[in-house]
Structures are given as C-alpha cells and as structure tokens.
Amino acid sequence: MKSNESIAEFYTRVMIVANQLRRNGETLVDMRISEKILRSLDPKFDFIVVALEETKDLETMSVEEQVGSLQAYEQKVSRRSDDNVLEQALQSKLSLNEKRYEQGGTSQQGRERGRGSRGRGSGNAETRGRGRGRGGRDTNRGGRGQQNYVSRGRGQGRRGGYNSRPNIDKRNVQCYNCHKYGHYSNECRGKPNEVNENSNFAEEEQVEGESLMLMAHNSTYQNQDVWFLDSGASNHMTGRKDLFTELNEKVQGEISFGDLSKISVQGRGDVMIKQKNGDHAFISNVYYVPDMKTDILSLGQLLEKGYQISLQNMQLTITDARGKLITRVQMTKNRMFPLAIHHDTPRCLTAIINDKDWLWHLRYGHLNFESLKQLGSKKMVKGLPNIHHPNEMCESCVLSKQHRNSFGNEANWKATMPLELIHTNVCGPLTPVSNGQNQYFLTFIDDYSRKTWVYFLKRKSEVFGYFKEFKTLVEKQSGCYIKTLRSDQGGEYTAGAFQEFLKQQGIRHQFILLS
C-alpha cells in the first residue's frame, strides 16, 4: 500500500489482481484476500489491524466488512488530524489577539463560548465561562462575576467558536457528497449520491460520472445490438442468455464494482456474431451476468487475445496481430465507445428435443427402449418417467449395429531386420509449452523391433537435424543401415534439403495417405 493511498483505492487495486487470478483459474477465498490486505497496509493502520486480528474471526469475516472497519478508522484518523490543524491555527490567532489586547487594553463584556481547555479559574477573551458581569476599561477594578479581558469567573471554557469552524477560506474545500467546492459535506443541501449498480468501473471517482452516462443512454441502445468497449472491465459480460451458442452454467462467481457491490455470474460461453462479409466469428469467454443491463467488451481481454488497440483522433481502433483492421469506433459526446454487433440467432445450432422418450434414449447412450421401460417401471432410477417405445427407428442405432466387411487376411509388408523400415511422425503444437519451451515431439519407430525414439522440438524445422542425429546414432549402434523411411506428406519431410539428403544416403521415402 502506498503512503498517500486511501483504503478504497488500495482495495480496488487488490480486487483487480484477485479477479485476474480468478479468471486464470486460481481459487481465491475471502480469507486469503483479507490476510493480504492486512499484511500490506501502511504502518499507520497497525492499531486497527491488531484490533481486528484479536477481536474478529478472519475466517468468517467478509472482505467488505473488513474494508468498512478500515475506512471508518481512516476517517477517524483524518478528522483527528484536521482538528489538530485547526487547533494550531486557533492558537496562532490567540497569540495575535493577545498582542493586540496588550497594546490597546481593550476589555470585553458578556457571555462567551469557545473551544479549548476546560478548567476552573481565569480565562481569556476566547474562554467559554458561566460567569456574568460587567466589564470596564479599568482592568484593576472588578467585582464578583466581572469579566474583562482578564476574566476571573467560575466556569469551564473551550477555545474557539461554539460548534463552528474557524474562519477558513472554503473556496478550496471540496464536499464529499456533491463534490462541489465551497462547503463541507455536513453543510451540503444536495441529495446523497446514488451510484449505478451496473457500473463497471474500478475506481470510486469514476463510477458516478460514467454510470450516469450509461443510464442516460440505456434508452438509446437498449433495443440495439450494441456492446460498450470498456478498459475498466476485466471480462466480456452480457445479460442476454439468448446470444450464447454455448454456455457452461457450471461457471459461477461474483463480479465486484468500485462501490463494493457485487452481482453474480451464472455461466460462461461463446457468442456468435456475423461479420460484414457474411462470415461468422465468435466472442469467447463471455460471462453471463443476468443483472447486466448493457453488454460489455473488455479491452484487456482483447489485448490478451493478441489484438492491438489504439486511441487517437477521437477514435478507438482495433487491429489483429498482423495489423489488419478489425473495427474502428467513434467516440460519442459522452466519451463512450459503443460498437454495433450483428448477432445470428443460435437456435439453428442447437437441436431441441421435446419428446421425453427420445430424450432419455439419447441420455442413456442409445439404450434400447425395453431396458428404459424396465428402469422406469421398477423405479430403479429416481426421476425417470414412464418410457414408451416410439414408432420411429433410431438411425444412429441402426448404423452402429450394421456389420462391417472383414479386414483382409493378407498382412502388409513388414521388416525382416532392424532399421529396414522406420516410421516417423511429428505431433504438435501442444499447449501449454514445456519448461524447455518445447511444443512438438518427433518419433522414430523401428518396424522390426518396435523400439521407439522420441525427440522434443521447439519448431518443425528442427526435424531434419534430429533425423540426421538419429540416423548416425542407430546405424553406429546396430551396424545396420536405414533402408526405408515412412512418414506423412508434411512440409518438414517434403522439404528440398530433406529429400536431397535421403537421395544421397540411398534411403527410400514412403508416404502414407491420410484418411
């Protein structure tokens, strides 16, 4: 935590990192986040940290409750520091008044109230006292209850004005409520702020303004296929379930906003869109958030996919890794970037089966209907309805039960000695890459002995070099020579240098046909 950072700002930074970890598959419970916040606080919060650890159960205490306690302590410390500053200012003012009275000898009459030290005995012009009396110019004369500049009445007093602030220039004072200058929040006549719960911005200062923009334009875009490009959102989000071609409703979670509110995530899937040329594309890893009133495209998620984003000339431009233009969005008057996207209804991609007999037949892996009827009649499966045999035939069952022609008895040509026939192939690319940054592996199999050699590759272009290394190794060790190499027609095997080497070594190259 930075020394000049508030609790709200620090909490926002922590939750951004936590959401990124959760999006990458990390499981984070509130207790880990709470412990991280307490460990990273500025030393000025040590007292409240000790109090929370001693009096609260961190396992059951929510992050929001913890942040609320820290913010309350922060405000208390801030008010105390402000009071110290005001007291110093008043002390300076009193010292000036004392000099002025010493020079002029002016007395004061009446009841006075102020802020300052309480005590019994003498007070000054800024002393709150209970005594009444009359004052005169002669400070040597006086009676019981008489007050002049040097007062000797019984009573208690505080320095300063009663329940008021000193004469401070409020032109630079900003209200916490309406954010206008010239008054304090307790003097504000405006209504408390209402923060839009659908705001997707991380910082509290940005929530108010941008959420009002969204509210003002909901009526404009609510009936259109408009997505808002947002740099503050950690994920693509939509509240329209009908847009998904594939939705995994097992993905559950919560999304936190700058005002500490949360809304639930009910799934994650892909949304199909229609491009201008008629082709189809997909927006992947989109969160289904039923409470969202607007559709959000995360610029951060687009950057992770390899897209390039630039902002200039009041436009937001998105290009792919090769520099090809994807879209260009003009900024609106309220500094937003709405992108119109055409969706294809995914109903044509989803087969809906209303017949419960066929539905349970498919659910049980094409189990015959007689067995399904027994499961239902004997109550062997809880919740299984009574199944009736339909009049139609299941095409998949008919095709799968047909007999195939027997394979020929004639065996393919096999090697009669080591290295007479070598099978080779390349597999990859594999994700994630290995610790050695390898994403392919190359195999050589001796047809006679079935012995296998495996080499790991970073690129397919390394196949030729590893083949020469393999040839030297096996021929020296066995005393035999490679006569035939069998592979597919991949570019790593059909390259000119590879073919020229096989001709020079007298190795016959056989290609297999891929089905």
In the chain the domains, ranked by start, together with CATH numbers, are 7-80 (no CATH), 204-348 (2.40.70.10), 356-399 (no CATH), 422-511 (3.30.420.10)
How far apart are alpha carbons 490 and 425 in whole angstroms?
A: 9
Q: Which two tokens stand for residue 121?
A: 């005995």
Residue 113 has what pLDDT? Answer: 41
Asked if residue 273 lies in contact with residue 343, where contact means CB atoms within 8 angstroms, the answer is yes
Asked if residue 501 lies in contact with residue 468, where contact means CB atoms within 8 angstroms, the answer is yes
Residue 258 has what pLDDT? Answer: 66
pLDDT at 501 over 70: yes
Residue 265's beta-bridge partner residues? Answer: 253
pLDDT at 470 over 90: yes
Helix, strand, or coil (residue 249): coil
* Lowest-confidence region among 75-89, 229-243, 332-346: 75-89
Which amino acid makes up residue 314? M
Mean per-residue pLDDT over the chain, rounded:
73
Q: How many CA atoms lie within 13 A of 282 on its CB side?
A: 10
Helix, strand, or coil (residue 291): coil
pLDDT at 472 over 80: yes
Name, of 192-196, 270-274, 371-375, 410-414, the range with top average pLDDT.
371-375
How far apart are alpha carbons 162 and 496 in whole angstroms?
A: 97
Question: What average pLDDT does the segment 318-322 reach?
Answer: 85
Residue 319's beta-bridge partner residues? Answer: 308, 325
Residue 347 has what pLDDT? Answer: 46
398-428: b or e for each residue (b if 16 or more CB lie within 10 Å)?
A: eeeeeeeeeeeeeeeeeeeebbbbbbbebeb
How far apart are alpha carbons 418 and 447 in whole angstroms?
A: 8
65-84: b or e for each residue (b if 16 or more CB lie within 10 Å)?
A: ebbebbeebbeeeeeeeeee
How far apart are alpha carbons 261 and 467 in whole angstroms?
A: 61
pLDDT at 63 over 60: yes
Q: Which two tokens stand for residue 403?
A: 């007999």
Displacement of CA 439 from its chain's centroid (Å):
29
Query: In the chain, what are the helix, strand and coil shares in percent, each to the nearest 5?
Result: 35, 20, 50
pLDDT at 122 over 60: no
Residue 345 has what pLDDT? Answer: 56
pLDDT at 213 over 90: no
Report percent pLDDT > 90 for the chain. Answer: 12
pLDDT at 189 over 80: no
Q: What is the pLDDT of residues 238-291, one digit of tens each?
A: 888 888 888 888 888 888 776 677 788 889 988 888 777 667 778 888 999 888
Taking the model in full, what pTM does it have?
0.30
Question: What average pLDDT does the segment 204-212 reach?
Answer: 32
Place of tokens 């002390």: 91
Q: Give the residue with greater pLDDT, 439 vs 115.
A: 439
